[in-house]
Structure 1
Amino acid sequence: MIQRRLFCAQASTILQHPNTIKNNSFNKKWRIKQVKKSNFNQVMEEIKPHIFNSDFIAVSLQRTGSYSSPWQKVLPSDTPEIAYLKAKRSAERFQLLQFAVCPFTLRASKLTAYPYNFHLFPRDELKIGMPSYSFACQTSYLTSMAQLGFDFNSCIYDGISYISRAQESSMKHLTGNSLMRAHAVQSSSTLSTADSVFIQRIKSRIKTWINVCKDSKGAHEDPMVKALRKVVEGDHGSRPCIDVDVCSERQVQLVLEVVKEYADETVPLLIPAKDGSTQGVRIVLTSSNEDKDLYEKQLQDLEEEQSKNVRGFREVIDLISASRKPIVAHNSLDDFSFIHSKFMSPLPLSLDQFKSSLSSSFPYIIDLGHLMKEFNPNGNIKNVPAASSFLRSRFFAPIDIDIPLEGTPDEMNKGKIYGHNVLQISHVFAKLYSITKCRQQKEEASLALDNFANIFDQHSSPLLDDSNEDIKISSSSMRKLSCDDVAFLWGFRCGLTAGKLKELLSKSHKAFSDEFDVQLVDKSCAVVAFWQPGIAAAFINAMASGGDCDEGLKELILEGFKATNYETYKRVCNTSNWDSNLADSLDQVVASANQCPVDDHEKSPYEIWWDDKTVLNLDDIKL
C-alpha cells in the first residue's frame, strides 16, 4: 500500500559535523555529556545558560523499577485517579539512577541540543540519618541497564546525591548547629503579666550589653580581658553577639519584638534545637548600616552555599523550575511522580492535589505520547523509537541536529548509550513541532501545543469526546462504558486464556446471552465488560447468591470463581498493601468490605473506553 507523505519543510543538507546526526539515525554517535559527582560543580556552571536560553527542555529518567506485577502497572481500564495511585506507589518504592536533561532550541529545521545525563545515587551526605533511603529494584530494569554497559560501581561511589525541598526544610531543624536568620514579626496586641516581665528583663539585658560593647570599645582594656570577652560574648567577624535563651515560640516572638527597637544596628539569628524548635535567639551587633548590610549579605551567601552543598542534583531541578521553560517528556505521569517525590515533597493523596502542587514548579509540561495522538489517533505507539519510525514513514520533516558540547572521552559516553533517550525525545518533538507549524496556517504552533500541555491521563486526547474521569482502553474501535457495566472475575485455574474464559461464561448465566467481552488483567484475574447497562450488577448479584437456578454458574462457583464490581478494584488501589496477584488483593478487600460495607451512593460515575482488540499476552510478562 502506497502511503502519501506530507512534505512539511524544505529539504536541507544534513550538516557533516561530528556532532550532527541524520534524522533517521538513533545510534551511539550522539554525544551526551555524562555528569557525576566528580564533575558536577563544573557542569552546573555550564548548563545554567543552556537552560535559560533554551526553547524547550526534554527530560528522561532511568529507574530501578516500575511495578512488581502486571496488574500494578497502569492498565487501559484505569481511571486517571487510579493511574495516579499506581504511579505514586511506583515513585515511592523505586529509585532514580539516571536523570537526562536536554535543553534545546529550534530554529527552522535545525535542532541545537545540549544533552546531559546525570548519574544519581541517594546517600546521607551530612551523616544525620536523614534522609534515609531504601528502595526496591526490579531485575529486568537493572539487566537492561547492564546490557547498555551501565557502571553500577561508578554510580554508587561517584553518583550525585540529592535531597528534596521538604527534606531540606526538615534538615535545618534536625542539624541543630546551623543558625537561621530571623524574619520580622507582627507586634503582639495583648501581653500577659508574664510577657511584660519577660520583655522588661530582656530589654534591660540587651540595652546594658549594647552600652558595654560601645563603651570605648575596650580601648584601655587588658589584652587578656579582651580575649576573655570574645570567648564569653562570641564573635561574628569583629562583631560581638549575645545569646538569649527561650522556652517557647512565644518567647522567641517577644525577643524579636524587643530587638526591633535596635533594628538599625543588630541582626537577630535563630538557634535551632535538635527537636526542630528554637532554643535561643542570637543578637549580633554591627557597627553601622553599611556593616549591617554587609553582614546580612554574608549570611545570605553562607546559607546559599550550605543549601547548594545539601541540594546536590536538586539544584538542576530548581534551575529548570526557575526557567519556566516548557518541558517535554514521554510519560509525564510516571516521570513527574518521581520528580515530585524525590525532589519536591511527598506525593499528595489525589491527582488534583498532585497537579496543583506540580504546577507551582512546572507550569508547562508536554507529553510526547499525547502529541503523537494528533498524528496517529487510532494507533498505540508505546515508545519513542516507534514514534520516530511512524513519523519517518509518513511525513517529510528533516531535522538537523547539532550537539556543540565538548568534554573528555569519559564524559562523552565512550561509545556507550547513556541518556540516549532524551535526545530521541528532543528529536521526535522537533519533528512534531515542525509538522504542526506546517499544519497551522493562521495559528502559531506554540498555541496549538497548549492543547497538549499538562495532561496526566495517559489515555486522554483532545480528539476524543471524553471527560477527565473516563477510562480509555486502547485508542481504536473503542466503546464508551460505565464502570457499573464492568466486573472483575477471579478464582479460575491458572493458564486459562481470555477466549476460553469467555466461552465458559457464555454458558453459565443469562447475563452472557447479550454481547460481552473478556480481558485478562494478570494470570489470576480478568475484566468482563457488558454492553447492556445493568447486566454486570445482575451477574455479580447472581454470583453472590450462589448461582440461583443457573447450573452453569453454580459449577463455576464450585470451581472457585468470584466476581466483584469496579468499586472494589478502586479500594484495592487505595490500600497500602498490594499483593503480586490482583486476585489476592481483591479477596482481602472483599473480606474487609463485608465487615464495613460501603454505601452505593459513594460510587463515582466513571466511564471507560473499551477496545475488544486489547488482549494481555501473558508470554510477554517478564518480571
Structure 2
Amino acid sequence: MQKRLLCTQTSTHIENTIKNSNLTKKWRIKQVKKSNFNQNLEEIKSRISNSDFIAISLQKTGSYSSPWQKVLPFDTPEIAYLKSKRSAEKFQLLQLAVCPFTLRASKLTAYPYNFHLFPRDELKIGMPSYSFACQTSYLTSMARLGFDFNSCIYDGISYISRAQESSMKHLTGTGNLAVRARSVKSSSTISVADSVFIERIKSRVKTWRTACKDSKGSNEDALVRALRKVVLGEHGSRPCLDVDVCSERQVQLILEVLKEFSDDTVPLLIPTKRGGTQGVRAVMTSSKEDKILFEKELQDLEEEQSKNVRGFREVIDLISASQKPVVAHNTLDDFTFLHSKFLSPLPPRIDEFKCSLSSYFPYVIDMGHLMKHFNPSGKMNNIHAASSFLRSRFFAPVEIDIPLKGTPEEMSEGKIHGQNVLQISQIFAKLYSIMKPGQHHISEGKDLALDNYANIFDPCSSVSLENSDDDVRISSGNTRRLSCNDMVFLWGFRSGLSVGELKSLLSRSHEAFSSEFDVRVVDKSCVVVAFQQPELAGDFVKAMGSGGTCHEGLTELTSLGLRAANYETYKCACNLSRWDSDLADSLDQVVTSADQFSADSHGKSPYEIWWDDDTVLNLDDF
C-alpha cells in the first residue's frame, strides 16, 4: 500500500474544494435531552451494536484554574494524570457527543448524537453532589456560540455512576418501595430467642393466610370488603402481610419461615429512607401462574426504575458492553472525566486508573498519538490543526453519510451541538484510509496497525519513541533527551523581567550557567531552567540552598528573593495537591512543609523528557 501524498497543486485544489463544499453543507446531529432520551435509547443501542468504531467528544464547565495546572510538555505521566484527575473531580460535563460509525472504503456512515447532561439528585438523597466548579472562559465561549443553559438545567439528562448506584442499591431499586427479597442461606445455629420468634411469625402467617382464603368465598358487602382489605393489607390487587423488623437477623428468619409457603407467596423487603430494611412484606398470589406473572411485574418495575436512576449512564454501559474501539482526541482528559462521572472515583495513581478503565473500555484510540505518526515534529493541539495538516499533505477524500432522522428541534445544525465528534470521526476515517492497517509498514519495520496507538494515556508520549511510562515526548523540530534531574524551577524574580534579562542575570551568577541552558515560562510567577549537561542542576540548587555565599552574583539574586527547587519539589507539589493559582506559592509550601517528601526522593529520577525550544511559553509573550 502506498501513501497518497499530494504532489501537485491540482490535488491540493481538489482537496480544498471538497473541504469547502463540506463546510457549506452543515452536519445534522441529533440532540438528545431528558424529554426524548428514552424514545431514542433503543435506536442508540442498535447503532452502537452495528458500528465499527465509536467517537466521543466532551463539553465541560472548565479544565484548569491557572496556566501551570494544565498538562505541560515536561510533565511525567503520573503528574499529567494528577492534573487531569483534579480537573475531572472539580469540573462538570454539560454535553457528551457520541458517534457510532462504520467505514466502508472511503465512505463514512455516521450516527452522531449529542447528549445534554446535568447532574440531578433524582432520588433526593444527596447523590450525586450538586456542586461543581465553572471556568468563566468556558461558559463565555459556550454562550457566544448559542448554548442554551436553561435547556441544559431543566431538560438535561441526569446520571449516576456505577459506584454510587452500588452504594445505594437498597434505595435506588424501587424508589423506597418494596423490593424483591433475594434467596438466603439457612442459618446453621438457631438460638432459643430465634425459635420463639420463628414460631410467632409462623403462627401469624398461617392466621393471615387462613383469613385471606376465607374471604375469597364469602359474600360480603362493599364496606366489609373494604375493612377487610385495610386489616389484612393489600399490595396492588393481591393481599399482603407486613412484618416490622428490628435487625437483619430477623429479616433472615422471616424469609426462612416464608419458604414454607413459597408455592403462592412472594416475600418483599421494605427499605428505610436511610438504607437497611424496615420490614418484610409477604404477598399472596392466586395461583402458580399468578405468582410467575407477579414476579415478572416486579422484575420489569425494578429494571425500569434502575434505568431511570442510571440515566445517561445507560449509554456509557452500552458502549462498554459493545467492546468497540473508542476514538477520542485527548484520551487522558476525556476518560478521567468519564471514569469519575460514570464509573467510580478516580484512583490515586495512573497505573491503577489504566487497569480500572481497561475493564470497561479495553480499546481506546487517541487521535493525538495517531497524528504523531504522520507529523512527529508538529503540534496537533486541536482537531482543526489536524484537519488542516491532512488536507495539505494527503489526498484522502472521505464521503460522509448521516442517515439519522428526527424533528427539527432534535436535528440541530448549531456550531456547538456536537460538531467536534463528527470532525474526529472524519479525521480518523482519513487516517485509516491512508494507513490501511496491516497492509504496509513504516520505516524501521514498525507496523501501522491501530494496536500501536491504542490505550496510550500519556498526552506527551510518542509511539516513535520507546513506549514507556517513564518517557515524556514534547513535539517539536529539534529535540534532545533530558533527565528531569537536569531541570530547576525558579521563582521570586522581579515582576516584568524578560527571559533575556533573566538569562543574563543567571549567566553571571553561577558557573553552572557557563554551559548552554534554556529558560522557559511555566506561569507568571515561575520559570523552568533546563541544563544540557548533567549534574549542573544539582550543583546550582545546592548553591541556592546555601544562600549563594560563595558566589557574588548568586548572593545578589537570593537577596532579592530568588528561590530554586528541583523537579522532585514540583512532583511533590502535585502529589500533595498544592494547587495554588501561582506555582511559586505551591513550591513555597512544599519547601517549607513539615510533611515534605522523604530524603529518598532526592535520588536520581527515572523520568526523562524530550526538550525543545517550544516546550513552554516565552516570558516575553506571556
Deviations 1:363-387 (A, max 9, x none): 2211111111122222221111111
Whichever residue aligns with residue 114 of structure 2, its letter is N
CA, structure 1 residues 262+402, in 2 after alignment: closer, same or farther (shift >3 Å)? Answer: same
Tell me if the contact between 2:327 and 2:365 (Cα under 8 Å) persists in the aligned partners: yes
How far 1:71 sits from its partner (Å)? 0.3
Aligned residue in 2 for 1:116: 113
- Of the structure 1 ranges 294-303 and 220-229, higher mean CA displacement relative to structure 2 is found in 220-229
How far 1:31 sits from its partner (Å)? 1.3
CA, structure 1 residues 320+233, in 2 after alignment: closer, same or farther (shift >3 Å)? Answer: farther
Aligned residue in 1 for 2:365: 366
- Of the structure 1 ranges 401-410 and 231-240, higher mean CA displacement relative to structure 2 is found in 231-240
Deviations 1:542-564 (A, max 9, x none): 21111131111111111111112
Whichever residue aligns with residue 93 of structure 2, its letter is L
Gaps of 5+ in 1: 15-19
**3-state DSSP class of the match of 1:563?**
strand
Output the CA distance in 2 between the equivalents of 1:535 and 1:463: 29
Aligned residue in 1 for 2:243: 244
Output the CA distance in 1 between the equivalents of 2:123 and 2:475: 48
Aligned residue in 1 for 2:270: 271
Aligned residue in 2 for 1:17: none
Aligned residue in 1 for 2:513: 512
CA, structure 1 residues 298+372, in 2 after alignment: closer, same or farther (shift >3 Å)? Answer: same
Aligned residue in 2 for 1:37: 34
Check if 1:99 corresponds to 2:96: yes
How far 1:72 sits from its partner (Å)? 0.5
CA, structure 1 residues 191+350, in 2 after alignment: closer, same or farther (shift >3 Å)? Answer: farther
Check if 1:471 corresponds to 2:484: no
Pairing 1:84-233 to 2, within 5 Å after superposition: 84-173=81-170, 177-214=176-213, 217-219=216-218, 223-233=222-232
**Structure 1 outlier segments of 4+, above 6 Å:** none
How far 1:242 sits from its partner (Å)? 2.0
**3-state DSSP class of the match of 1:373?**
helix
Output the CA distance in 2 between the equivalents of 1:414 and 1:447: 36
Pairing 1:206-355 to 2, within 5 Å after superposition: 206-214=205-213, 217-219=216-218, 223-355=222-354
Gaps of 5+ in 2: none
- Of the structure 1 ranges 397-406 and 466-475, higher mean CA displacement relative to structure 2 is found in 466-475
How far 1:85 sits from its partner (Å)? 1.2
Whichever residue aligns with residue 555 of structure 1, its letter is E
Deviations 1:124-168 (A, max 9, x none): 344444333222222221222223222223323333333333334
- Of the structure 1 ranges 450-459 and 534-543, higher mean CA displacement relative to structure 2 is found in 534-543
How far 1:597 sits from its partner (Å)? 5.5
Whichever residue aligns with residue 461 of structure 1, its letter is S
Check if 1:66 corresponds to 2:67: no
How far 1:225 sits from its partner (Å)? 4.2
Check if 1:431 corresponds to 2:445: no
**3-state DSSP class of the match of 1:144?**
helix
Output the CA distance in 1 between the equivalents of 2:254 and 2:232: 18
How far 1:36 sits from its partner (Å)? 2.5
Deviations 1:585-616 (A, max 9, x none): 111122214x6562315868431213231231
Output the CA distance in 2 between the equivalents of 1:136 and 1:115: 28
Output the CA distance in 2 between the equivalents of 1:246 and 1:577: 49
Whichever residue aligns with residue 303 of structure 2, its letter is E
- Of the structure 1 ranges 538-547 and 170-179, higher mean CA displacement relative to structure 2 is found in 170-179
- Of the structure 1 ranges 542-551 and 482-491, higher mean CA displacement relative to structure 2 is found in 482-491
How far 1:300 sits from its partner (Å)? 1.5
Output the CA distance in 2 between the equivalents of 1:411 and 1:472: 42
CA, structure 1 residues 226+553, in 2 after alignment: closer, same or farther (shift >3 Å)? Answer: same
- Of the structure 1 ranges 209-218 and 42-51, higher mean CA displacement relative to structure 2 is found in 209-218
Whichever residue aligns with residue 584 of structure 1, its letter is D
How far 1:452 sits from its partner (Å)? 1.4
Tell me if the contact between 2:460 and 2:474 (Cα under 8 Å) persists in the aligned partners: yes
Whichever residue aligns with residue 55 of structure 2, its letter is A
Whichever residue aligns with residue 608 of structure 2, its letter is I
**3-state DSSP class of the match of 1:57?**
strand
Output the CA distance in 2 between the equivalents of 1:430 and 1:223: 71
CA, structure 1 residues 335+354, in 2 after alignment: closer, same or farther (shift >3 Å)? Answer: same
Deviations 1:288-346 (A, max 9, x none): 33322221211111112222333332222222222222111101111111112222222
- Of the structure 1 ranges 178-187 and 125-134, higher mean CA displacement relative to structure 2 is found in 125-134
Whichever residue aligns with residue 411 of structure 1, its letter is E
**3-state DSSP class of the match of 2:593?**
helix
CA, structure 1 residues 288+420, in 2 after alignment: closer, same or farther (shift >3 Å)? Answer: same
Output the CA distance in 2 between the equivalents of 1:398 and 1:598: 57
Aligned residue in 2 for 1:483: 484
Output the CA distance in 1 between the equivalents of 2:353 and 2:217: 60
CA, structure 1 residues 390+288, in 2 after alignment: closer, same or farther (shift >3 Å)? Answer: same
Output the CA distance in 2 between the equivalents of 1:236 and 1:57: 45
Aligned residue in 2 for 1:401: 400
Deviations 1:94-142 (A, max 9, x none): 1222211111111111001111212223333444443332222222212
**3-state DSSP class of the match of 1:504?**
helix
CA, structure 1 residues 438+326, in 2 after alignment: closer, same or farther (shift >3 Å)? Answer: closer
Whichever residue aligns with residue 60 of structure 1, its letter is S
- Of the structure 1 ranges 250-259 and 218-227, higher mean CA displacement relative to structure 2 is found in 218-227
Check if 1:453 corresponds to 2:454: yes
Output the CA distance in 2 between the equivalents of 1:507 and 1:551: 9
CA, structure 1 residues 49+131, in 2 after alignment: closer, same or farther (shift >3 Å)? Answer: same
Output the CA distance in 2 between the equivalents of 1:382 and 1:285: 65
Output the CA distance in 1 between the equivalents of 2:375 and 2:610: 18
How far 1:577 sits from its partner (Å)? 4.9
Output the CA distance in 2 between the equivalents of 1:36 and 1:616: 40
How far 1:618 sits from its partner (Å)? 5.6
Output the CA distance in 2 between the equivalents of 1:568 and 1:301: 56
CA, structure 1 residues 414+227, in 2 after alignment: closer, same or farther (shift >3 Å)? Answer: same
How far 1:472 sits from its partner (Å)? 2.8
Output the CA distance in 1 between the equivalents of 2:339 and 2:307: 19
Output the CA distance in 2 between the equivalents of 1:266 and 1:496: 83
Tell me if the contact between 1:172 and 1:178 (Cα under 8 Å) persists in the aligned partners: no
CA, structure 1 residues 269+605, in 2 after alignment: closer, same or farther (shift >3 Å)? Answer: farther
Output the CA distance in 2 between the equivalents of 1:309 and 1:4: 50
How far 1:516 sits from its partner (Å)? 2.9
- Of the structure 1 ranges 316-325 and 581-590, higher mean CA displacement relative to structure 2 is found in 316-325
Whichever residue aligns with residue 57 of structure 2, its letter is S
Tell me if the contact between 1:321 and 1:361 (Cα under 8 Å) persists in the aligned partners: yes
- Of the structure 1 ranges 603-612 and 429-438, higher mean CA displacement relative to structure 2 is found in 603-612
Tell me if the contact between 1:480 and 1:607 (Cα under 8 Å) persists in the aligned partners: no
CA, structure 1 residues 618+605, in 2 after alignment: closer, same or farther (shift >3 Å)? Answer: closer
- Of the structure 1 ranges 348-357 and 251-260, higher mean CA displacement relative to structure 2 is found in 251-260
Whichever residue aligns with residue 95 of structure 1, its letter is Q
Tell me if the contact between 2:186 and 2:256 (Cα under 8 Å) persists in the aligned partners: yes
CA, structure 1 residues 195+526, in 2 after alignment: closer, same or farther (shift >3 Å)? Answer: farther
CA, structure 1 residues 51+480, in 2 after alignment: closer, same or farther (shift >3 Å)? Answer: same
CA, structure 1 residues 210+490, in 2 after alignment: closer, same or farther (shift >3 Å)? Answer: same
RMSD over equivalenced CA pairs, Å: 3.0
CA, structure 1 residues 295+560, in 2 after alignment: closer, same or farther (shift >3 Å)? Answer: same
**3-state DSSP class of the match of 1:118?**
strand
Output the CA distance in 2 between the equivalents of 1:543 and 1:264: 84
Pairing 1:519-534 to 2, within 5 Å after superposition: 519-534=520-535
Tell me if the contact between 2:31 and 2:113 (Cα under 8 Å) persists in the aligned partners: yes
Tell me if the contact between 1:567 and 1:603 (Cα under 8 Å) persists in the aligned partners: no
Output the CA distance in 2 between the equivalents of 1:454 and 1:430: 19
How far 1:62 sits from its partner (Å)? 0.9
Q: How many residues align?
A: 607
Whichever residue aligns with residue 436 of structure 1, its letter is M
TM-score normalised by length of structure 1: 0.89
Identity %: 73
Aligned residue in 2 for 1:616: 617
TM-score normalised by length of structure 2: 0.89
Output the CA distance in 2 between the equivalents of 1:559 and 1:28: 61
Output the CA distance in 1 between the equivalents of 2:178 and 2:28: 44
CA, structure 1 residues 509+604, in 2 after alignment: closer, same or farther (shift >3 Å)? Answer: closer
Aligned residue in 2 for 1:392: 391
How far 1:211 sits from its partner (Å)? 4.5
